[in-house]
Structure 1
């Protein structure tokens, strides 16, 4: 099963399809999109993105790279997140 991910960075918006067993980061990389990344295990927070619609699951993993404020503002770590349904993401500019 594939879920649609609407990915926005700056003024560009793209559709990426994410397999239910793949992380969101894997799908973005497969599409050859540049995403800042480092640890790829949810610890560093470099790949931080804001989830503006839809639902994700961390498959029991803990997103240690997020603080409570980021979580309350809807930020996720796509390196360990999987789509539960269609989602919309915005890349945070740092």
Structure 2
């Protein structure tokens, strides 16, 4: 596979585990990185592979860009490691919650 997605709750060790396998790391934090993701997301994919893109879901446009990049690279395995924090459900917003 060209990419692997690691998903789970915040602070469960996703990034810590992924960085042990990654050769380069990109943290998707608010600021210049997110701005660049909106302007030219393909630039964010440059780096030694496997490239960890931590909290990729903050820039959802990366998903299709990563898929295309994997195809352009001939489907070579181990190109990207993506981490994503799951957001807990707010049960208070459901009408049946007490």
What TM-score, normalized by structure 1, do the two folds share?
0.30
Query: Which protein has the bigger strand share?
Result: 1
Higher relative contact order (CA 8 A, sep 6+): 2
What TM-score, normalized by structure 2, do the two folds share?
0.29
| Bigger Rg, structure 1 or 2 | 2
Query: Which protein has the bigger helix share?
Result: 2
